[in-house]
Amino acid sequence: MARLFEDAGQHNRSWMCFVCGRKYVSYEEYKTHIVTEHEEGREYLKCPACEAPVRDVKAHFKVKHPNRHLPTDVQFKVTVWHDFSPNGTKKKKTRVNVRTGHFPSKKMNEDLYYRSGLEADFYKCLEEDPDIKTYKIEPFKVPYFWQGEWHNYIPDILVEFIDGVKEIWEVKPGVRTNDEQNLAKWHSADAQAKNIGWRFVVQTEVGLDKYRAKLKKKRQGN
């Protein structure tokens, strides 16, 4: 949740960024700073209900949305947790235990890092699919324009099929597919892919279920 401070005797409220300790006089400035300057997933998460930048989705829901259903298909905590004293002095930096790790790929002959369980599940499917020649993780940067500034976006997977077709995949929970900044990233990636004859695809839990069903039919010879 956001950290709100009030200076004694002056009644001046300020919002402190939980990533770097900078303070802002308005919540909107504070929110804009976090989503434009820090890394989503690693340093902050967006609440699936109100899109507020948070570190712990479960704790945020308990306080801000006690009567709403908590989604089960989202990342609940940032992977790096920063703590600051009220004056903005950094106290400590902690790595949070979420489902991240390395997938041993025989097809690619290397261990592939995943940032979520959803990514790991897609790796397993790509590994099994006989139509996939190669799949490269976080292959390149794509520049995109957001809120008056240029940023870089790194897609999750570059997939090459045995027939030569190439696709850029972004793996994301369905609840985050309408996020405005994500849409800006994906618009640029889609345009770049089309310019070189590739496809850009956003893969969600729905896509994973369809992919698994497709592979099951292949195994059964259908």
pLDDT tens-place string over residues 40-96 = 887 888 998 999 999 889 899 989 998 988 887 678 888 777 776 655 565 555 554
Q: What is the average per-residue pLDDT within 205-212?
A: 94
Q: Domain 101-219, CATH 3.40.50.10190 — does that match?
A: no
Instruction: Identify whether the C-beta of residue 136 lies closer than 8 Å to the C-beta of residue 198.
Output: no
Q: Is the pLDDT of residue 211 over 50?
A: yes
First to last CA, the chain: 50
* 143-162 pLDDT tens trace: 999 889 999 999 999 999 99
Which amino acid appears at position 151 of this protein?
Answer: H
* Residue 159 to residues 50, 96, 182, 186, 204, Cα–Cα distance (Å): 33, 30, 20, 16, 16
pLDDT of residue 6: 42
Instruction: Identify whether the C-beta of residue 16 lies closer than 8 Å to the C-beta of residue 7.
Output: no
* Residue 136 to residues 127, 139, 203, Cα–Cα distance (Å): 12, 6, 15
Closest CA to 58 of 47, 43, 42, 44: 47
Who wins on pLDDT, 38 or 110? 110
Give me the residue spans of the domains in the chain.
3-95, 101-219
Q: What is the average per-residue pLDDT within 197-218?
A: 94
Enter the pTM of the model: 0.60
- Alpha-carbon gap, residue 45 to 57, rounded angstroms: 7
Q: Is the pLDDT of residue 4 over 50?
A: no
pLDDT of residue 12: 57
* 160-188 pLDDT tens trace: 999 999 999 999 988 788 888 899 999 99
* 9-35 pLDDT tens trace: 444 578 888 888 888 889 999 999 998
- For the chain, helix (H) and strand (E) counts, in that order, are 5, 15
The residues, ordered by sequence, that sit 6+ positions from 150 with a Cβ below 8 Å of its Cβ are 143, 144
pLDDT above 70 coverage of the chain, percent: 86
Helix, strand or coil, per DSSP, at residue 52 = coil
H or E stretch at 203: strand 199-203
pLDDT grade for 101, boundaries at 50, 70 and 90: confident
- Alpha-carbon gap, residue 41 to 50, rounded angstroms: 16
Q: How many CB atoms lie within 10 A of CB 182?
A: 17
Most confident of 16-25, 97-106, 125-134, 173-182: 125-134
The residues, ordered by sequence, that sit 6+ positions from 114 with a Cβ below 8 Å of its Cβ are 100, 101, 102, 103, 120, 123
Beta bridge partners, 95, equal 80
Q: How many CB atoms lie within 10 A of CB 28?
A: 10
pLDDT of residue 221: 81
